[in-house]
Amino acid sequence: MTGKTAFETRYGFARSKVQLANWRENPFNRWSFQNLGELVPTARIAAAPGASEAPAQDLGELINEKVAISGGTETVAAFLARSSTDALTIMKGGKLVGDWFAPHMEFSARHIVFSVSKSLTAIVAGILEGEGAFDPKAPVASYIPEAAGSAYGDATARHVLDMTVSLDFEEAYLDPESAFARYRRATLWNPGGGSESLREFLLTLQRLAEPHGQTFRYRSPNSDLLGLLLERASGQRFTDLMRDKLWQPLGAVGEASVGVDMEGTARTAGGISVTPRDLARVGEMMRQGGMANGRRIVPQAWVEDTTSTGGSSDAWQRGTMVPLFPQGRYRNKWYQSGKPSGAYCGIGIHGQWLYVDPEAEVVIAKMSSQPEPVDDPLDIEIVAFFEGLTRLV
């Protein structure tokens, strides 16, 4: 009888067990979230030339400190384990506090960030807006004329950016018969894809009777449409845009990647994979008002609008995510917490977070392989965990 392979010892299952039909399920997601390119087509986003990474730096005694969560206290280590964390990177005042990695994730490995991809894509939109190449006030159809017969036919790019498109679509992650399952087939994320492209799928979506702009509706297709808007506005593929406008100017050390469909269209709503350190670098750039390495990456006015001044409180209150941030708002694919600290964040399913507390000067990147795509009670605990960490570092 043969013994276990090194892969099986590390992950608890054989590589052959991970299939397109189950890659987002526990326990297979502990591996697949770091290896998206072995399951779906991906495109490269090159790192900054000559950039190098400092060695891993553990959290030291911080790992044993206690934070207040759900009326009790829990050590940092215990909460990281309970929330299925794969990696954590913390920065304060622009300096690295430390990293933490689960046994199944190596330092500097890429990890899919799911809907934090939306936040990254919106930064590219902000850069193009600053260059005069993209106008959020413009009708979607001015960039994508063939959208005229869809839900986006009378929407603006601003509606797309702020998730206020009156879109007849539900984020039914676990329903194999839903329009969401068809959406995932179009992205090549589920078996049976390849007959309908992502672009074709998006242009079949229809609208609700309510006017655009009234209600925050979290609908991922909006963010894939944003990627198409940016490509049409610039005349460049999204991968080239992100490389040239954000990734290399940021000084990103690791190569990023993004899932693509049958036509090579980037899954800008949720398909980007990056390293924890580079994700933290994005948060630090936002904390610095759009600056990184002594150069301006994105206009300061766009960062301020995104993180503090923009967004509709009324639209947020009409949405379904009020329990997470009761005084929150959503602007340019970023969440404003509405808390006195001014904290804001990008969030992805299965526990992906980029959290910035400008008052404490703290940035936290958390990558996870939570069993469920959405766990609302755990999300509330994660916010409490971040708030506790900012007081400890």
Q: Is 195 a catalytic residue?
A: no
Identify any residues that bridge with 296 across adjacent strands, giving them in sequence order: 291
Count of CB atoms within 10 A of residue 44's CB?
A: 12
The DSSP 8-state label assigned to residue 308 in this structure reads I
Any domain includes 173? no
Q: What is the CATH number of the domain that holds 355?
A: 3.40.710.10
Count of CB atoms within 10 A of residue 99's CB?
A: 21
DSSP reduced 3-state for 111: strand
DSSP reduced 3-state for 267: coil
Structure tokens at 166: 């009156």
What is the C-alpha to C-alpha distance for residues 332 and 239, in angstroms, rounded to an integer?
A: 19
Structure tokens at 98: 């430390």
What is the C-alpha to C-alpha distance for residues 100 and 60, in angstroms, rounded to an integer?
A: 10
- Burial status of residue 141 (CB atoms within 10 A of its CB: 0-12, 13-18, 19 or more): middle
**118-141 pLDDT tens trace:** 999 999 999 999 999 999 999 999
Any domain includes 229? no
Any domain includes 98? yes
* Domain carrying residue 276: 43-130+237-392
Any domain includes 37? no
Any domain includes 211? no
Structure tokens at 370: 């939570």
Any domain includes 153? no
What is the C-alpha to C-alpha distance for residues 198 and 183, in angstroms, rounded to an integer?
A: 7
* Dihedral sign computed on CA atoms, order 314, 268, 90, 94: negative
What is the C-alpha to C-alpha distance for residues 272 and 113, in angstroms, rounded to an integer?
A: 6
Quick one: pLDDT at residue 70?
Answer: 85
What's the domain count of the chain?
A: 1
pLDDT values of the chain reduced to their tens digit, one per residue, 393 residues: 468 999 999 999 999 999 999 999 999 999 999 999 999 999 999 999 999 999 999 999 999 999 999 889 999 999 999 999 999 999 999 999 999 999 999 999 999 999 999 999 999 999 999 999 999 999 999 999 999 999 999 999 999 999 999 999 988 777 877 889 999 999 999 999 999 999 999 999 999 999 999 999 999 999 999 999 999 999 999 999 999 999 999 999 999 999 999 999 999 999 999 999 999 999 999 999 999 999 999 999 999 999 999 999 999 999 999 999 999 999 999 999 999 999 999 999 999 999 999 999 999 999 999 999 999 999 999 999 999 999 999
**67-113 pLDDT tens trace:** 999 889 999 999 999 999 999 999 999 999 999 999 999 999 999 99
| pTM, full prediction | 0.97
What is the C-alpha to C-alpha distance for residues 352 and 364, in angstroms, rounded to an integer?
A: 11
Among the listed residues 115, 273, 312, 368, the single catalytic one is 115
